[in-house]
Structure 1
Amino acid sequence: MFCTTSVKYFPIPCEVLAIMGPSGSGKTTLLDCLSGQRHIDSGSVFLNREPLSKKWRRRIGYVLQEEIFFPQLTLRETVVYTALLRLPETMPRAEKMRQVDHILEALELGCCQQTKFGDYLNRGLSGGEKKRANIACELLTNPLLMLLDEPTSGLDSHSAISLMKVLKRYAQLEQKTIVISVHQPSSQMFHMFDKLLLLHQGRTAYFGDVHNIYRHFEDIGVTIKPHYNPADFVLEQLKSHPDIREKLFIAAKESHGNYLNRNCITSSHNHQQTSDSEAKGKKQVDSILIDDIINNYYNHRSKRHLHQYENLHHTTGGCQVEEDEEAAQHLVWCAADSQSNFSSCASSDCHSYSAGSGPGHSEDDDWLSYPTSFHTQFCVLSSRNFKEAKPRMLSKLNWFQTIGLALMAGAIWFQLPRTEEFLHDLQGWMFFSQTYWMLFALFGALNSFPSEREVVSKERRSGAYRLSAYYLAKMCAELPLVITLPTVYLMISYPMLGCTSIKLFFLMLIFLLINTIVAQSVGFFIGACCMDMNVSITLSALYTLATQLFGGYLSSRIPEGLSWIRYTSMIHYAYQNMQILEFREGAAIGCGSPSSYEICKQQSTEFIPYEEILKAQNSTSPLWLNTLILMMFFLVFRCLGYAVLRYVRCPKKT
């Protein structure tokens, strides 16, 4: 790497760097800083001599400590959807599936790939399998740099060692740089690391090769006991002895300067051997030199760019860098104040394998934008959302509830006579049906976005897809699910009332479904605004109950200044539409004896005109106007829901 005073740590391809320290030492914070997921108070992080930006974050694989996945999807489905979203559009689907099979085999996940992730209610994958699945989704994209936050926590000793063997093998075979934070590894695992970064409260206590840790402690007067886990001994000394801790800080700072100077001299000395190595076809990855950049760059890029790197090295002497953007385009480095707390992002230098060298990655800059088109994102996300939402929205409990309620409603209002005496009963069925499905869809949608927030935030930070593609896919994928149960309800209960007109049945169904999807839109909006489920339920209940109370359905004594509230209710327009259809298209309602309608008293008519029934219910708006207002509700709340997710609930740096 280039020798500058602002560059401190040098993980290179084929090596595993372990970040170790007591709890609260800043391991996760450092990884957050390097991945661009946390604001930096001071210092800066650069990749390819550019500030860490969204396009570069997409080339960093960051495996979080928590396994954030959809519990209803199987392991293979999750990895396949990740491959379809994050691998390049130009790669054939068959090649993507081969990549999936290769990753699952490499991580020893073949035997459990058809198992669901599960949650606290339904058992699924084990802890170790979830850890490896988390890693598999990041390895698919062949990232420049792999960051793993305590992937072995919660695993037994055997599982942790197996996972480390997989990561070690992957780093060597794929020539990847892997940075892993670990709390308290076993002795066997400790010696599997190539380099160690030891932290305490954001300060560096040691950085260097793992096998040099014994000599480093001996230099400050501390000898690691034989047959003693060096990881346990180091952490114990670091946390229990303030004097030793201060000596470690001073020794780490001094060794850092010596380390930089030694690499500058070695880089200049070994540069003469580079051309011979290339001629023999050998790859030099055993030292932290600028020659490593040249070798990797030569193996995966054109000789013209290599010549520019060689000229750059000769002109700078290996220790300074000129402003040659093309020559330094593929240099990966991170810089920050080396002594800052990790809220200021302790600096690190991360050279990594060329992005174009892995399978499935083209030699152009397509990865700077989204890897797939909007159409592909929409199709893949629609399929995933449908599979994820189906068990939740069409659960056995919901089927039982819908069929049971339909039978009860049909039994209560069974074969209602079409006379004035039973007019109120018929209106009660319409009001009940509209209100129930409005509440069912609204409250069912409240938890839709909050339950997916963590997964979607993680995927959006990685640049997997556009928010608009996710939002539109979710709306379309859940549409057939949200209309299924109301359709079944109406198919059972409405014929039991005595309806024999197919035309009227379909008209009633259309407007019942319109009311349902409008209510879902309101639920999406409230759920997106209030990620707290208790707040969402409170606001939804307040809104729905207020519109019913002030709508005049339960009381006719409504204050004049508050009567306008009825016009903000979707149920007001949906209920009017059902009455218009039922009384205009259905069988006529016979006059009672005596009748409360003046037209039946003054004119010896047998049936009540539907206009008189609607007028008695203060239903004066035509069918088309009510429908138009409902569609406006639909569009406004869907757009507001997207705006909230786009500008308010977007993933932000902490």
Structure 2
Amino acid sequence: MALRFLPSSLLGLLLCTTVIAAGSPGNSSWNRPVPISSYQLTGPSGSTAPEKCPPCFNCQLPRFACGQYGECNEYDGQCKCPSGWGGIDCLVPQCDSLADGDQRRLREDGKSCECKEGWGGINCNVCQTNQACAAFPLIGGSPVENDEEVDPEDMRCYKGGETVFNNHQMCNVTNRKIIDQVGADRAVQVTFSCDRTDETCSFQFWVAEVESFYCALDQCQSSSTPEYNTNVTTYACEHIKCRCIPGRFICGEDGSVNIDDFLKEEIQGPATFSCKNNECKFEEPAMNDLISEIFADPYITLDCSGGECLHFSQVPGYIRPPKPDNTRWVALSAAGAGLIVLLTSATLWYAGRASGGEFGSIRLPDDEQARLMNDHVPATLHFSNLSYTLGSRVLLDNVSGTIKPGQVCAIMGASGAGKSTFLDILARKAKRGQVAGTTYVNGREVANAEFKAVTGFVDQEDTLMSTLTVYETVLYSALLRLPRDMSLEAKKFRTLETMNELGILGIKDSRIGASGHRSISGGEKRRVSIACELVTSPSILFLDEPTSGLDSYNAFNVVESLVSLARDYNRTVIFTIHQPRSNIVALFDQLVLLAAGKLVYSGEFAKCQAYFAEIGQPCPAGFNIADFLIDLTVHAGMDERSNSTDDSSTIEPSSPSDEVANLGDEERGLRRHQTPAVPLATRSRVGSASPENEETELRTRSASAYIKHKTSQLLEAVSLNSGKRQNAAPLAPKLAALVEAYAASSVARQIREEAEILQRASAGVDSGAGQLPDVAVETSLLRGRKRASFGTQFRILSGRAFKNLYRDPALLMAHYLSSIGLALICGLFFHNVTNDISGFQNRLGLFFFTLALFGFSCLSSLGLFANERILFIRERANGYYSTFTYFSSKVLFDILPLRVVPPIMFGGIVYGLVGLVPTVASFWKFMLILVLFNLTTAVVVLFLSIAIASTSVAGLAGTLVMLFNLMFTGLLINRESVPVAFRWLHTISFFHAAFEALAVNELRYLHLTETKYGVELDVPAAVILSTFGLHAQSFWWPNTVLLGIFFTVLTAASFLTLHFFVKEKR
């Protein structure tokens, strides 16, 4: 018995092992041998096999089932698995390729399949290349005559999406919430396959390449809807049944959630699987509800790639629909561009015609015309010991004085005496050096902001906007700086009144003009500059050389108007002047005389002649006192060595009066033979020789001796002046004597006493011991007057910018005409691009050319701010407006007409002519990128023009920036070929962001068809995009977002640079 039982037991174990071993590489879905394990094994007594023997698999038993709803053999209880599945229960994926049939290997536990070349998917069912299908057995009968052998090169991997016989697809789940729930490190995937003959489909859900559940669908019908660029494929199945794999994800893995009951009871159908351009979705009512409730998505979204091996004659015949007719697009685009041009031209014409209407009659309420002139605080300006040092050089030393309301103070001195420097310091202008000393307004020190609120300053050089008229220039100053509660009519009246005072009312409608396009004279421009400050009727008015460039008559009129302003309206007027006429000198109330930065005189002008007579320097009778004082300070400042005699060639005056007389002769031009090339310090030495002596010298000396003599004089002068600059030599004795004489005079003592009184009074206010009599008035002075609000400033500056734009329309018209002309040229050469490789190239070339066009055309903006840099600096320093309002108006009137309209015109014309994707969404995306790119490039150029003062350097920098961005556009250098350490250069290139966005918008869903050597190749354009290093899903992020970030950041950087670094420094 024992001997008989033992062989039976061993036989049972052997048979069970055979059954288990059925999951070998030879196991397949067809030609499966009948396993011996289906027979019942018993011992001699009829008992079953030992308990240690595992139960044999039998799909006929309730305990076992065939995975993937495989067919169960009723004779042997074994499973017939679908293609791509193996193992005893059809739950193990097969590897290699679908073409290997029953020779495929099973996937090892915990590993991924290594598919053969040209095949992909979790179970290697999806063909990827035509070469992969070369060895695939034909399905559906032989397509060749006489049963000839099929040429492997005739096989195709059909990826159109439509099922011909058996189609397989590999998909990635794209629902964001599902991916987040599972974890980004675990891929969520779906495999989907259909059999057209059986009208069945199968669906498997995978997590980290481990199957969770599977479904079988029947009564399935497929349909394909061809569109111009792609196919829309839909599978509609009436019934669906699903089953969990026990112990897998969402099927009870580690005691987690198990949806097996839900799948069996709720999932019934119908179900649909539809795809467009590899973007697919799987829908079933109960499953949609589950997805919606848990993951907030309407259905499962997928990104799929499918394939089916067919003979080329079996590929579904697909006739591409005719390309849409673009005639309507072309007509509408051209009409839109023409309409924009017409509207712009009409607007500019109307604005030009209507601009003169605002200068009509002015009616003021009673007494309002005098309100501005009378409603102010008289200001006494006292300055004490003002000094200015630049490096080691003392340019101004201990200057003191007092100017009262109703007085005109003239600051005089020779060229280089320090007049303009002293005026800048009095006016609180920003200086590069160190300023010392104090200034008082009505007896107390005043902060810079409060001081500038009640003062005006007229520069020596005129900085006016050339396209404005005289009236508009002065009116804008009034509108921006006069009190906001003052009526518009009163401001216009004040403007006309000021122009009448300065004698420029007759040219009010004349434009200022620029170099080469002159309208008014230089003297008239000077008076316009003065009017811009005079119109505000400031308490204190500073002017730097107000008579510069004017003839004697107009110079007198200007000074007379300043004197009238001071005396009639109790203003304080201070200006520098250089050798005025005697009738102008007679109008002065106060005089400050400087020489080499030293104070020679400061006090009442009426007393200066008597003062100089007292110190032994009387002005000759009938001599202009201004000329006398200038000559006196110039020659007093000469070095002693320049006044010494040698060889009787120099004559030393015997007395100060004689010296002054001689100086007067020199100014009248009596010393005609003086060599002008010799510096001032040696002119007396060279020029004191008489004409007769010069002629005798020329007769008796040889030419070489004469030249040697003159050269030695020149070298001595150069050496003398160089030594003065390097060693900071002390003052010339005569000039030092003049300075000391004034410091010890009663005039200087009176000024010092006034300063001490003011300082004590100011200290009393600070300590609370007392108050100055006019403290209430001073408080009103310090409060200032509220000028135009930000909104008013922006409106006025915008109007001025618009007038400047339409009155000089050359740049505007150049942009518009070039956009239209180049759009037509592009439409001619790129007309109706084809959907092949050459069409792909033409599209990229068009995009590259378009970006280069708008990128380099933005360099025209360099001059827009450069031409107004000095104007902005001075107007802001004089309190016209804030940086923000100027910058806002500047950006607005550069962006709208020059940077938004041209790309719209260009895009509207070129889009239809070229034949780009004819969809509304794609069209407006194209326009969005063009406009956003042009704005970004414009602010790059704006930033360069603000940050770099030199237009030439800014132009070079702008060109280099454009070329750098062009290099990394993505067309010239493939991103993947750039070293990883330098790929960030593509990220910071706004050209790359725009180029990639345009390419993706046009080519993402496009299929290219190319016929070579009789073979038709159908390639998705996205594949070629990736070959170029471009990402097919990067339209909004990062490209469009990056362009927006570039525009925002560079706009902010431009404003901050303008506000903090573009400032007046004198």
With the length of structure 1 as denominator, give the TM-score of the two structures: 0.78
3-state SS of 2:435 partner: coil
Give structure 1 stretches of 5+ with no counterpart.
265-288, 291-315, 333-353, 357-362
Look at both structures and tell me which one has the larger radius of gyration over its CA atoms.
2
For residue 618 of structure 2, the aligned residue among 214, 223, 242 is: 223
For residue 147 of structure 1, the aligned residue among 530, 533, 542 is: 542
**2:823 is aligned with 1:429:** no
Q: Could you tell me how far apart the structure 2 residues matched to 1:26 and 1:247 are?
A: 19
8 A Cα contact 1:80 1:100, kept in partner: yes
3-state SS of 1:205 partner: strand
Amino acid at match of 2:745: S
Residue 831 of structure 2 corresponds to 414
Q: C-alpha offsets along residues 82-108 of structure 1, whole Å, 9 cap, x if unaligned? A: 222212222222222222222222222
Change (3 A) 1:401 1:102: same
Change (3 A) 1:51 1:211: closer
Change (3 A) 1:233 1:147: same
3-state SS of 1:324 partner: helix
8 A Cα contact 1:16 1:178, kept in partner: yes
Change (3 A) 1:366 1:386: farther
Residue 32 of structure 1 corresponds to 424
8 A Cα contact 1:170 1:176, kept in partner: yes
Q: Could you tell me how far apart the structure 1 residues matched to 2:382 and 2:1034 are?
A: 78
**Which stretch of structure 1 is more off in the superposition, 157-166 or 402-411?**
402-411
**2:739 is aligned with 1:249:** yes
Number of aligned residue pairs: give it. Answer: 566
Shift of 1:330: 5.3
8 A Cα contact 1:551 1:565, kept in partner: no
3-state SS of 1:19 partner: strand
Change (3 A) 1:595 1:174: farther
Change (3 A) 1:263 1:569: closer
Shift of 1:64: 0.8
3-state SS of 1:115 partner: coil
1:111-130 matched pairs, under 5 angstroms: 111-130=506-525
Residue 439 of structure 2 corresponds to 45
Shift of 1:320: 5.6
Amino acid at match of 1:487: I
Q: Could you tell me how far apart the structure 2 residues matched to 1:575 and 1:252 are?
A: 75
8 A Cα contact 2:794 2:889, kept in partner: yes
**2:750 is aligned with 1:260:** yes
8 A Cα contact 1:550 1:562, kept in partner: no
**2:1035 is aligned with 1:623:** yes
Shift of 1:132: 1.4
Q: Could you tell me how far apart the structure 1 residues matched to 2:864 and 2:751 are?
A: 56
Higher helix content, 1 or 2: 1
Change (3 A) 1:52 1:26: farther
8 A Cα contact 1:552 1:558, kept in partner: no
Residue 577 of structure 1 corresponds to 997
Shift of 1:444: 2.8
Q: Could you tell me how far apart the structure 2 residues matched to 1:449 and 1:218 are?
A: 54
Amino acid at match of 2:742: A
Q: Could you tell me how far apart the structure 2 residues matched to 1:584 and 1:5 are?
A: 77
With the length of structure 2 as denominator, give the TM-score of the two structures: 0.49
**2:864 is aligned with 1:472:** no
3-state SS of 1:10 partner: strand
3-state SS of 2:619 partner: coil
8 A Cα contact 1:63 1:134, kept in partner: yes
Amino acid at match of 2:1028: Q
Shift of 1:514: 0.7
Q: Could you tell me how far apart the structure 2 residues matched to 1:101 and 1:574 are?
A: 52
Q: Could you tell me how far apart the structure 2 residues matched to 1:260 and 1:27 are?
A: 23
Residue 803 of structure 2 corresponds to 387
Change (3 A) 1:613 1:54: same
Q: Could you tell me how far apart the structure 2 residues matched to 1:261 and 1:366 are?
A: 28
Shift of 1:149: 0.4
Q: Could you tell me how far apart the structure 1 residues matched to 2:469 and 2:1020 are?
A: 58
Change (3 A) 1:331 1:245: farther
Shift of 1:177: 1.1
Change (3 A) 1:61 1:630: same
Change (3 A) 1:26 1:365: closer
Shift of 1:201: 1.1
Q: Could you tell me how far apart the structure 1 residues matched to 2:910 and 2:758 are?
A: 86
Residue 940 of structure 2 corresponds to 522
3-state SS of 1:437 partner: helix
Q: Could you tell me how far apart the structure 2 residues matched to 1:387 and 1:584 are?
A: 45
Q: Could you tell me how far apart the structure 1 residues matched to 2:381 and 2:515 are?
A: 49
Shift of 1:517: 0.3
**Which stretch of structure 1 is more off in the superposition, 239-248 or 9-18?**
239-248
Amino acid at match of 1:414: H
How many percent identity over aligned positions? Answer: 27
Q: Could you tell me how far apart the structure 2 residues matched to 1:490 and 1:106 are?
A: 54
**Which stretch of structure 1 is more off in the superposition, 70-79 or 424-433?**
70-79
**2:617 is aligned with 1:214:** no
Change (3 A) 1:53 1:610: same
Q: C-alpha offsets along residues 2-32 of structure 1, whole Å, 9 cap, x if unaligned? A: 9998694222222211111001111101111
Change (3 A) 1:4 1:209: closer
Residue 966 of structure 2 corresponds to 548
3-state SS of 1:45 partner: strand
For residue 568 of structure 1, the aligned residue among 988, 993, 1008 is: 988
Shift of 1:263: 8.5
**Which stretch of structure 1 is more off in the superposition, 46-55 or 122-131?**
46-55
8 A Cα contact 1:44 1:51, kept in partner: no
Residue 486 of structure 1 corresponds to 903
8 A Cα contact 1:72 1:388, kept in partner: yes
Shift of 1:365: 6.4
8 A Cα contact 1:548 1:566, kept in partner: no
Q: C-alpha offsets along residues 249-284 of structure 1, whole Å, 9 cap, x if unaligned? A: 2332233556618987xxxxxxxxxxxxxxxxxxxx
Residue 512 of structure 1 corresponds to 930
8 A Cα contact 1:20 1:183, kept in partner: yes
3-state SS of 1:142 partner: coil
3-state SS of 1:464 partner: coil
For residue 324 of structure 1, the aligned residue among 765, 777, 793 is: 765
Change (3 A) 1:435 1:60: same
Q: C-alpha offsets along residues 440-487 of structure 1, whole Å, 9 cap, x if unaligned? A: 22x233344433222222122223322222222322232212222223
8 A Cα contact 2:446 2:782, kept in partner: no
3-state SS of 2:513 partner: coil
Q: C-alpha offsets along residues 311-332 of structure 1, whole Å, 9 cap, x if unaligned? A: xxxxx89986651369449579
1:156-171 matched pairs, under 5 angstroms: 156-171=551-566
Change (3 A) 1:409 1:221: same
8 A Cα contact 2:742 2:748, kept in partner: no
Shift of 1:145: 0.6
Amino acid at match of 1:592: E
8 A Cα contact 2:830 2:846, kept in partner: yes
Residue 201 of structure 2 corresponds to none
Shift of 1:630: 0.9
Change (3 A) 1:30 1:4: closer
Q: Could you tell me how far apart the structure 1 residues matched to 2:914 and 2:525 are?
A: 52
Q: Cα RMSD (Å) of the superposition?
A: 3.4
Q: Could you tell me how far apart the structure 2 residues matched to 1:595 and 1:137 are?
A: 80
Change (3 A) 1:81 1:622: same
Residue 473 of structure 2 corresponds to 78
Q: Could you tell me how far apart the structure 1 residues matched to 2:630 and 2:383 are?
A: 30
Change (3 A) 1:550 1:434: closer
Residue 720 of structure 2 corresponds to none
Q: Could you tell me how far apart the structure 2 residues matched to 1:262 and 1:632 are?
A: 61
**2:950 is aligned with 1:537:** no
Q: C-alpha offsets along residues 392-427 of structure 1, whole Å, 9 cap, x if unaligned? A: 674444444444433333332234344433321122
Q: Could you tell me how far apart the structure 1 residues matched to 2:1013 and 2:936 are?
A: 37
8 A Cα contact 1:3 1:260, kept in partner: no
Amino acid at match of 1:463: G
